[in-house]
Amino acid sequence: MQGIVIKSTGSWFRVMTDDKAYECRIKGKFRIQGIKTTNPVAVGDHVLFELEDDKETGVITKILERKNYIIRKSVNLSKQTQLLAANIDQAFLLVTLDTPPTSTGFIDRFLVSAEAYHIPTIIVFNKMDELQKNPNLLKQQKELKAIYEQIGYQCLEISALKKENITAISKLMQGKVSTFAGHSGVGKSTLVNAIEPHLNLKTKAISESHSQGQHTTTFAAMYPLSFGGYIIDTPGIKGFGLVAMEQIELSNYFLEFFKRRTDCKFNNCIHLNEPNCAIKTAVENGEIAISRYENYLQMLEDDQNYR
Protein backbone atom coordinates (compact mmCIF):
# COMPACT_ATOMS: atom_id res chain seq x y z
CA MET A 1 0.00 0.00 0.00
CA GLN A 2 1.06 3.62 -0.54
CA GLY A 3 0.39 6.65 1.60
CA ILE A 4 1.74 9.90 2.98
CA VAL A 5 3.12 10.33 6.50
CA ILE A 6 0.92 12.86 8.31
CA LYS A 7 2.27 12.49 11.84
CA SER A 8 5.51 11.42 13.49
CA THR A 9 5.73 10.48 17.16
CA GLY A 10 9.23 9.09 17.25
CA SER A 11 8.88 5.36 16.69
CA TRP A 12 5.41 5.37 15.13
CA PHE A 13 4.13 7.17 12.04
CA ARG A 14 0.57 7.86 10.98
CA VAL A 15 0.24 7.12 7.27
CA MET A 16 -2.78 8.40 5.32
CA THR A 17 -4.05 6.57 2.24
CA ASP A 18 -6.92 7.73 0.04
CA ASP A 19 -9.51 6.54 2.54
CA LYS A 20 -7.90 5.68 5.89
CA ALA A 21 -5.03 6.40 8.28
CA TYR A 22 -2.80 3.63 9.67
CA GLU A 23 -0.30 3.62 12.50
CA CYS A 24 2.98 2.29 11.10
CA ARG A 25 6.45 1.50 12.33
CA ILE A 26 9.63 1.15 10.31
CA LYS A 27 11.83 -1.81 9.58
CA GLY A 28 14.97 -1.86 11.67
CA LYS A 29 17.21 -1.93 8.62
CA PHE A 30 16.28 1.68 7.79
CA ARG A 31 18.39 2.72 10.75
CA ILE A 32 21.60 1.13 9.48
CA GLN A 33 21.53 1.96 5.77
CA GLY A 34 23.87 4.92 6.03
CA ILE A 35 21.14 7.30 7.16
CA LYS A 36 22.71 10.06 9.24
CA THR A 37 19.49 11.38 10.73
CA THR A 38 17.93 10.38 14.02
CA ASN A 39 14.63 9.75 12.22
CA PRO A 40 14.72 8.21 8.72
CA VAL A 41 11.03 9.00 8.05
CA ALA A 42 9.52 12.50 8.13
CA VAL A 43 6.09 14.04 7.92
CA GLY A 44 5.35 14.62 4.24
CA ASP A 45 7.18 11.49 3.09
CA HIS A 46 5.44 9.28 0.54
CA VAL A 47 5.94 5.68 1.64
CA LEU A 48 5.06 2.09 0.83
CA PHE A 49 3.86 -0.08 3.71
CA GLU A 50 2.50 -3.52 4.42
CA LEU A 51 -0.41 -4.19 6.74
CA GLU A 52 0.15 -6.40 9.76
CA ASP A 53 -2.21 -9.19 10.82
CA ASP A 54 -4.58 -6.86 12.67
CA LYS A 55 -5.14 -4.86 9.43
CA GLU A 56 -4.96 -1.66 11.48
CA THR A 57 -1.19 -1.23 11.80
CA GLY A 58 1.56 -1.51 9.24
CA VAL A 59 5.28 -1.66 8.56
CA ILE A 60 6.89 0.93 6.30
CA THR A 61 8.96 -0.91 3.70
CA LYS A 62 10.12 1.91 1.43
CA ILE A 63 10.48 5.69 1.44
CA LEU A 64 9.81 7.10 -2.02
CA GLU A 65 12.13 9.73 -3.47
CA ARG A 66 11.81 13.16 -1.87
CA LYS A 67 11.74 16.37 -3.89
CA ASN A 68 13.08 18.24 -0.85
CA TYR A 69 13.21 18.18 2.93
CA ILE A 70 14.08 20.37 5.86
CA ILE A 71 16.37 19.37 8.71
CA ARG A 72 17.87 20.64 11.94
CA LYS A 73 20.73 19.53 14.13
CA SER A 74 19.60 16.97 16.64
CA VAL A 75 18.80 18.48 20.01
CA ASN A 76 20.61 15.76 21.95
CA LEU A 77 23.20 14.51 19.48
CA SER A 78 25.06 17.52 18.10
CA LYS A 79 26.63 15.73 15.15
CA GLN A 80 23.43 14.09 13.98
CA THR A 81 20.46 15.65 12.27
CA GLN A 82 16.72 15.42 12.57
CA LEU A 83 14.36 15.43 9.60
CA LEU A 84 11.54 17.87 10.24
CA ALA A 85 9.46 17.53 7.08
CA ALA A 86 9.66 16.46 3.43
CA ASN A 87 8.11 17.27 0.05
CA ILE A 88 7.30 20.87 0.92
CA ASP A 89 5.99 23.32 -1.69
CA GLN A 90 6.74 26.42 0.39
CA ALA A 91 7.80 27.58 3.83
CA PHE A 92 6.48 30.58 5.71
CA LEU A 93 9.16 31.92 8.06
CA LEU A 94 7.49 33.77 10.91
CA VAL A 95 9.51 36.65 12.29
CA THR A 96 8.80 38.76 15.38
CA LEU A 97 10.89 41.66 16.62
CA ASP A 98 9.82 41.29 20.24
CA THR A 99 8.44 38.59 22.55
CA PRO A 100 10.41 36.74 21.24
CA PRO A 101 12.92 38.64 19.10
CA THR A 102 14.02 36.90 15.89
CA SER A 103 17.64 37.60 15.01
CA THR A 104 18.83 38.21 11.46
CA GLY A 105 21.24 35.33 12.07
CA PHE A 106 18.32 32.96 12.51
CA ILE A 107 16.51 34.38 9.48
CA ASP A 108 19.55 34.04 7.22
CA ARG A 109 20.39 30.57 8.46
CA PHE A 110 16.88 29.41 7.67
CA LEU A 111 16.85 31.08 4.24
CA VAL A 112 20.21 29.55 3.30
CA SER A 113 19.08 26.07 4.30
CA ALA A 114 15.78 26.50 2.49
CA GLU A 115 17.61 27.62 -0.66
CA ALA A 116 19.98 24.65 -0.37
CA TYR A 117 17.04 22.24 -0.20
CA HIS A 118 14.96 24.03 -2.86
CA ILE A 119 12.16 25.21 -0.60
CA PRO A 120 10.67 28.60 -1.61
CA THR A 121 10.30 30.81 1.45
CA ILE A 122 7.96 33.68 2.27
CA ILE A 123 8.93 35.88 5.22
CA VAL A 124 5.99 36.74 7.49
CA PHE A 125 6.35 39.56 9.99
CA ASN A 126 3.86 38.69 12.73
CA LYS A 127 2.50 40.72 15.68
CA MET A 128 2.34 43.90 13.62
CA ASP A 129 -0.38 45.13 15.99
CA GLU A 130 2.24 45.24 18.77
CA LEU A 131 4.86 46.89 16.56
CA GLN A 132 2.49 49.76 15.80
CA LYS A 133 2.82 50.74 19.47
CA ASN A 134 6.63 50.90 19.33
CA PRO A 135 8.08 53.32 16.71
CA ASN A 136 11.65 52.05 17.17
CA LEU A 137 10.71 48.41 16.58
CA LEU A 138 8.44 49.39 13.69
CA LYS A 139 11.33 51.26 12.06
CA GLN A 140 13.56 48.21 12.53
CA GLN A 141 10.92 45.97 10.96
CA LYS A 142 10.57 48.24 7.92
CA GLU A 143 14.34 48.21 7.41
CA LEU A 144 14.45 44.41 7.62
CA LYS A 145 11.55 44.10 5.20
CA ALA A 146 13.33 46.38 2.72
CA ILE A 147 16.52 44.27 2.92
CA TYR A 148 14.78 41.00 2.14
CA GLU A 149 12.43 42.38 -0.50
CA GLN A 150 15.40 43.87 -2.31
CA ILE A 151 17.04 40.43 -2.32
CA GLY A 152 13.89 38.97 -3.86
CA TYR A 153 11.97 37.42 -0.96
CA GLN A 154 8.25 38.01 -0.66
CA CYS A 155 7.41 39.59 2.70
CA LEU A 156 4.02 39.80 4.39
CA GLU A 157 2.93 41.78 7.44
CA ILE A 158 0.25 40.21 9.61
CA SER A 159 -1.26 39.91 13.06
CA ALA A 160 -2.27 36.31 13.65
CA LEU A 161 -3.89 37.24 16.97
CA LYS A 162 -6.00 40.03 15.41
CA LYS A 163 -6.48 38.02 12.18
CA GLU A 164 -5.11 40.87 10.08
CA ASN A 165 -3.98 40.09 6.50
CA ILE A 166 -4.58 36.35 7.03
CA THR A 167 -6.36 36.00 3.69
CA ALA A 168 -3.13 36.81 1.83
CA ILE A 169 -1.50 33.75 3.37
CA SER A 170 -4.51 31.49 2.77
CA LYS A 171 -4.46 32.31 -0.94
CA LEU A 172 -0.77 31.40 -1.19
CA MET A 173 -1.41 28.09 0.62
CA GLN A 174 -4.29 26.90 -1.55
CA GLY A 175 -3.52 23.55 -3.14
CA LYS A 176 0.04 23.40 -1.75
CA VAL A 177 1.95 21.69 1.04
CA SER A 178 3.14 24.48 3.33
CA THR A 179 5.04 24.67 6.58
CA PHE A 180 5.36 27.44 9.12
CA ALA A 181 8.76 27.88 10.74
CA GLY A 182 10.23 30.14 13.38
CA HIS A 183 11.18 30.30 17.02
CA SER A 184 8.73 29.06 19.64
CA GLY A 185 6.38 31.87 20.52
CA VAL A 186 6.32 33.70 17.18
CA GLY A 187 2.71 32.67 16.62
CA LYS A 188 2.83 29.64 14.34
CA SER A 189 -0.02 27.78 16.02
CA THR A 190 -2.04 30.97 16.43
CA LEU A 191 -1.67 31.63 12.70
CA VAL A 192 -2.68 28.09 11.74
CA ASN A 193 -5.76 28.39 13.96
CA ALA A 194 -6.64 31.75 12.38
CA ILE A 195 -6.41 30.19 8.91
CA GLU A 196 -8.13 26.91 9.81
CA PRO A 197 -9.95 27.27 13.19
CA HIS A 198 -11.19 23.67 13.32
CA LEU A 199 -7.60 22.41 13.77
CA ASN A 200 -7.48 24.07 17.21
CA LEU A 201 -3.71 23.69 17.63
CA LYS A 202 -2.41 24.27 21.13
CA THR A 203 -0.90 27.65 21.94
CA LYS A 204 0.87 28.91 25.04
CA ALA A 205 1.71 32.33 26.34
CA ILE A 206 5.17 33.87 26.14
CA SER A 207 7.31 33.39 29.22
CA GLU A 208 7.58 36.85 30.79
CA SER A 209 10.91 36.11 32.45
CA HIS A 210 12.72 35.10 29.27
CA SER A 211 10.51 36.55 26.50
CA GLN A 212 10.61 33.14 24.85
CA GLY A 213 7.77 30.97 23.70
CA GLN A 214 7.10 27.70 25.41
CA HIS A 215 7.26 24.67 23.15
CA THR A 216 3.73 23.65 22.15
CA THR A 217 4.53 21.29 19.26
CA THR A 218 6.51 18.21 20.29
CA PHE A 219 6.23 16.22 17.07
CA ALA A 220 5.63 17.26 13.48
CA ALA A 221 2.15 16.75 12.04
CA MET A 222 0.45 17.37 8.71
CA TYR A 223 -3.14 18.60 8.42
CA PRO A 224 -5.46 18.87 5.39
CA LEU A 225 -6.86 22.34 4.71
CA SER A 226 -10.55 22.91 3.97
CA PHE A 227 -9.67 25.10 0.96
CA GLY A 228 -7.20 22.57 -0.49
CA GLY A 229 -3.63 21.78 0.42
CA TYR A 230 -1.87 20.80 3.63
CA ILE A 231 -0.10 22.51 6.51
CA ILE A 232 2.85 20.87 8.25
CA ASP A 233 3.22 21.94 11.88
CA THR A 234 6.82 21.49 13.10
CA PRO A 235 8.49 21.90 16.49
CA GLY A 236 10.04 25.26 17.33
CA ILE A 237 13.34 25.32 15.48
CA LYS A 238 16.07 26.38 17.90
CA GLY A 239 18.87 24.23 16.54
CA PHE A 240 18.27 24.89 12.88
CA GLY A 241 21.63 24.77 11.16
CA LEU A 242 23.71 24.09 8.13
CA VAL A 243 24.54 20.46 7.63
CA ALA A 244 26.90 18.80 5.15
CA MET A 245 27.65 21.98 3.25
CA GLU A 246 31.07 22.90 1.90
CA GLN A 247 32.40 26.41 2.54
CA ILE A 248 32.60 27.15 -1.17
CA GLU A 249 28.88 26.32 -1.51
CA LEU A 250 27.59 28.62 1.20
CA SER A 251 27.58 31.88 -0.73
CA ASN A 252 25.53 30.24 -3.51
CA TYR A 253 22.56 30.25 -1.15
CA PHE A 254 22.80 33.96 -0.41
CA LEU A 255 20.89 35.11 -3.49
CA GLU A 256 22.49 38.56 -3.72
CA PHE A 257 25.95 36.95 -3.39
CA PHE A 258 25.19 34.35 -6.04
CA LYS A 259 24.32 36.85 -8.75
CA ARG A 260 27.66 38.63 -8.22
CA ARG A 261 29.86 35.53 -7.94
CA THR A 262 31.29 35.80 -11.46
CA ASP A 263 32.52 39.33 -10.73
CA CYS A 264 35.05 38.12 -8.13
CA LYS A 265 38.65 37.82 -9.34
CA PHE A 266 38.93 34.19 -8.22
CA ASN A 267 36.29 31.59 -9.05
CA ASN A 268 36.87 29.88 -5.70
CA CYS A 269 36.51 33.12 -3.72
CA ILE A 270 34.81 32.64 -0.35
CA HIS A 271 34.67 36.41 0.24
CA LEU A 272 36.97 36.62 3.24
CA ASN A 273 40.41 38.05 2.46
CA GLU A 274 40.69 37.55 -1.29
CA PRO A 275 41.55 40.61 -3.43
CA ASN A 276 39.02 42.10 -5.86
CA CYS A 277 36.07 40.39 -4.17
CA ALA A 278 32.78 41.61 -5.65
CA ILE A 279 30.84 40.68 -2.52
CA LYS A 280 33.02 42.74 -0.17
CA THR A 281 32.87 45.65 -2.62
CA ALA A 282 29.07 45.43 -2.70
CA VAL A 283 28.96 45.48 1.11
CA GLU A 284 31.20 48.54 1.20
CA ASN A 285 28.97 50.26 -1.38
CA GLY A 286 25.80 49.49 0.56
CA GLU A 287 24.48 47.13 -2.12
CA ILE A 288 24.56 44.16 0.27
CA ALA A 289 23.33 44.57 3.84
CA ILE A 290 26.08 44.43 6.46
CA SER A 291 23.94 42.07 8.54
CA ARG A 292 23.81 39.58 5.68
CA TYR A 293 27.58 39.60 5.23
CA GLU A 294 28.24 39.32 8.98
CA ASN A 295 25.83 36.39 9.22
CA TYR A 296 27.57 34.76 6.26
CA LEU A 297 30.92 35.03 8.08
CA GLN A 298 29.36 33.57 11.22
CA MET A 299 27.99 30.64 9.26
CA LEU A 300 31.42 29.98 7.78
CA GLU A 301 32.87 29.87 11.29
CA ASP A 302 30.05 27.73 12.66
CA ASP A 303 30.43 25.32 9.77
CA GLN A 304 34.11 24.86 10.60
CA ASN A 305 33.29 24.23 14.25
CA TYR A 306 30.53 21.79 13.35
CA ARG A 307 32.88 19.74 11.22
State the pLDDT at residue 215. 41
Taking the C-alpha atoms of residue 296 and residue 287, their distance in angstroms, rounded to an integer, is 15
Domains of the chain in start order, with CATH, are 2-63 (2.40.50.140), 69-233 (3.40.50.300), 247-306 (1.10.40.50)
pLDDT level of residue 213 (50, 70, 90 thresholds): very low
pLDDT level of residue 207 (50, 70, 90 thresholds): very low
- In sequence order, the 6+-apart residues with CB closer than 8 A to the CB of 135 are none
Mean pLDDT, residues 13-25: 94
Over residues 24-62, the pLDDT tens digits come to: 998 766 654 555 677 788 899 999 999 999 988 999 999
State the pLDDT at residue 234. 67
Q: Which among 9, 48, 53 is positioned nearest to 30, based on CA atoms?
A: 48
pTM: 0.84
Query: Phi/psi of residue 306, each to 5°?
Result: -65, -35
Over residues 238-264, the pLDDT tens digits come to: 445 556 678 889 999 999 999 999 999
Query: Phi/psi of residue 103, each to 5°?
Result: -80, 155
Over residues 141-185, the pLDDT tens digits come to: 999 999 999 999 999 999 999 999 999 999 999 999 998 888 888
pLDDT level of residue 201 (50, 70, 90 thresholds): low
Alpha-carbon distances, residue 299 vs 94, 226, 260 (angstroms): 21, 40, 19
pLDDT at 206 over 50: no
